[in-house]
Amino acid sequence: MKKYLTRMGDGERIEMTVDELKQDFELGTKDAADRGKISPLTQDELDYLLEIFTNPNKIVSVEPGNEVPLTHDIGTLRLMGDQGNSGVGIPLSRVQGIQVHERAFGGDTMELGHIDYSFKPVKPVIAMEQQEMENALLSTIVPLFYGAMPNLGLYYSPDGPFGNPSDLLPMGKIQEAREAQEGAVEHATRDMIYICEKLYDVGCDGINFDTTGAAGDADMKATLHAVEYLKANTNLAIEVGMAGEFVLGMHGGLEYDGVRLAGLYPHQQVKLVEKAGADIFGPVVNTNTSKSMAWNLARAVTFIKACVEVANIPIHVNMGMGVGGSPVFETPPLDSVTRASKAMVEVAKVDGL
Amino acid sequence: MSKQELLEQAAQSVVDADRDATVEVAKRAIAEGIDPVEMINDGYSVGMSRVGDLFDRGEMFLPELIVASDAMVAAINVLEEAMPVKNQSKKLGTVVLGTIEGDVHDIGKGIVATMLRVYGFEVFDLGRDVPIKTFVEKAKEVGADIVGSSALMTTTQVGQKALEAALKKAGLRDKVKTMVGGAVVTQRWADKIGSNLYAENASEAVLKLKEMFS
């Protein structure tokens, strides 16, 4: 029986028959439907996934007319960073890096980001970031975001003023852990607003809150509060990108607009992101390294399709290392990442990647 | 109350994260002569597995998980006192066990330690967040037959590979068998790093090690 090259979730090359692919598509979409309490993919959609997977070409693309805009996170670190942080170590300035993305790579938007890529460390160097943003704006045409992670982890010891929930919770100090997170929400919201307003002052087009929820529900609450304020007080375009497929309940009791944040899946997250005032939402579905790409992609497409169906703002799904059906691999293999992207655009109907 | 009812109560008390209930059920099980190992395997572990599933699905959150874990540990402590140590005259092997540095997960590894003791292994449980060199030093000190490591996160999983290398460097790798486990660990990972044995849960760890050392 003919076998097709595909991948495991950790990037290992494997071969699967049509029957094996079909079975994993069905199990993957069923898993998402079961967890998210959403509809599984239809038979037509599963058949189309099979068509994408059995395409004999190494890379695939969308049909003409189905192209979508590309936004880009992590700033220019992909070019300038070394192998330790998944970059390729090319010695460029950040402005040059943005120009390369715009003029050579055809990026539809680009962003400036600090090497630490978290909001808190930007605070003491905000004047430098303002100047760099101004320089970049003067020499490019694409809309320029400033990107950073809310990263509430930096507000806990040893990096910040509050006790660390990861230390407090195993000791059974649940109330203390919750109070630490509530305190961090206030500090992080204040810092993010301060930084974004300073960047808005120099003409920054938008803000990308990247990997929201990485430090749990408190992380997301702080982000939504910052978005709400910025929408009401600036003309910044705002993108909220997630860290995981559901909001981790490090606190468990935090709410936004009367909705508990912990445990929300993409189709539920987007409604709160909209309510806060964001313009673009970047949902995430995590890749399971022990499952095939067929299982992972069918599952990811199911979650994202449900999110797209209820969204009133553009959905730019996160695609890359370990998310969106792509393997967990520093530089995801082309055969996988192009198949995953095509499925997200043509089956899940996302507005952008 | 039937054994089946007690097992179900044990599982539910963990899901409810009710410490008083877990301990109460454990005491009742001892009083009624139910095998403590069965209570752990088919009662409390089943509950913890349900908790893990709820957490994995975003339906239970970290604070509740911590309380549930604590409740289960309290029950196991009660049951441990009533456990007969089997094959006391014949030690099956010496095990050095710990959770890899950077990883604070303790429960699964703790259950493996308990079960191995019950089945006649001498176990040195190094706890959680254990530096690689501590595994090596302890294995050398006690003349370990098995070095077991647990990793619950992909970021700490790589420590199991480093442990293989550290044991080789210390000249111990040919003298010990290595065993790996933890939520993110798979048989494929064990094969990839050259570990001798992968166990998905405590019962499997016991079964495989007994087979290896009997």
Complex ipTM, two decimals? 0.80
A69 has a chain B CB within 8 A of its CB: no
pLDDT of B122 > 80? The answer is yes
Res. B13 pLDDT band, cuts 50 70 90: very high
Q: Which helix (H) or strand (E) holds B71?
A: helix B62-81
b (16+ CB within 10 A) / e for A154-164: bbbeeebebbb
pLDDT at A331: 79
pTM of the model as a whole: 0.84
B153 has a chain A CB within 8 A of its CB: no
Point out the residue among B66, B106, B188 whose CB comes nearest to the CB of A174: B66
* Distance from C-alpha of B49 to C-alpha of A304, rounded to nearest angstrom: 28
Res. A74 pLDDT band, cuts 50 70 90: confident
* Distance from C-alpha of B121 to C-alpha of B126, rounded to nearest angstrom: 15
The 3-state secondary structure of B76-119 reads HHHHHHCCCCCCCCCCCEEEEEEEECCCCCCHHHHHHHHHHHHC
Res. B131 pLDDT band, cuts 50 70 90: very high
Res. A171 pLDDT band, cuts 50 70 90: confident
pLDDT of A85 > 70? The answer is no
Contact B58/A265, CB-based, under 8 Å?
yes
Contact A263/B64, CB-based, under 8 Å?
no
* Distance from C-alpha of B83 to C-alpha of A7, rounded to nearest angstrom: 46
Strand partners, A320: A323
Contact A328/B57, CB-based, under 8 Å?
no
Point out the residue among A169, A172, A246 whose CB comes nearest to the CB of B62: A169
- Chain B hits for A220, CB-CB cut-off 8 Å, are none
Higher pLDDT, A296 or B112: A296
pLDDT of A34 > 80? The answer is yes
Mean pLDDT of the A128-148 span: 97
pLDDT of A84 > 70? The answer is no
Query: What are the CB-based long-range contacts (under 8 Å, 24+) for A79-87?
Result: A81/A115, A83/A330, A86/A321, A86/A330, A86/A331
pLDDT at A194: 98
B62 has a chain A CB within 8 A of its CB: yes
Summarised one tens digit per residue, pLDDT across range B36-54 is 888 988 999 899 888 888 8
Helices (H) and strands (E) counted in chain A, each on its own, are 12, 9
- Chain A hits for B62, CB-CB cut-off 8 Å, are 165, 169, 216, 248-250, 252
pLDDT of A200 > 60? The answer is yes
Summarised one tens digit per residue, pLDDT across range B62-119 is 888 888 888 988 998 899 888 766 544 568 899 999 999 988 777 778 888 877 887 7
Higher pLDDT, A72 or A186: A186
**Which residue of chain B is at minimal alpha-carbon distance from A166?**
B104
Mean pLDDT of the A269-291 span: 96
- Chain A hits for B59, CB-CB cut-off 8 Å, are 263
pLDDT at B88: 47
Contact B62/A328, CB-based, under 8 Å?
no
Computed over every residue of chain A, the mean pLDDT equals 94
